[in-house]
Every structure is written in structure tokens, then in C-alpha cells.
Amino acid sequence: MAKKQKPEECKQKVAEYMLTYGDMMTLLLCSFVLFFIDRCQKI
């Protein structure tokens, strides 16, 4: 059985708030897209 290699640590550190901010922006964009699609279908 092969030995398990230790995962390499991420060389580029990202601040925790940037991950949260990115998630929030993604959710906000998705909600606007869904609202836009819903609005276009009603016309």
C-alpha cells in the first residue's frame, strides 16, 4: 500500500474575511440573476 503524502500547505494565504466576502458576492449575484430571470418570464 502506498504511503499517504502530507498535503502541501497553501503558499498564498488569504484573509478569512476575503473568503466570506467572496461567498457573499457570489450569493448576491446568484440572487440577482434569479430575480432577473423571474422578472423576464413574467413579461
pLDDT digits (tens, 9 = 90+) for 1-43: 677 777 776 667 778 889 999 999 999 999 999 999 999 986 6
Distance of CA 6 to the CA centre of its chain: 26
C-alpha torsion sign, points 12, 14, 19, 30: negative
Helical residues (DSSP H) of 1-43, grouped into ranges: 16-42
Question: Residue 36: its pLDDT value, please?
Answer: 94
Domain ranges of the chain: 14-43
pTM confidence score: 0.59
C-alpha torsion sign, points 23, 27, 30, 32: negative
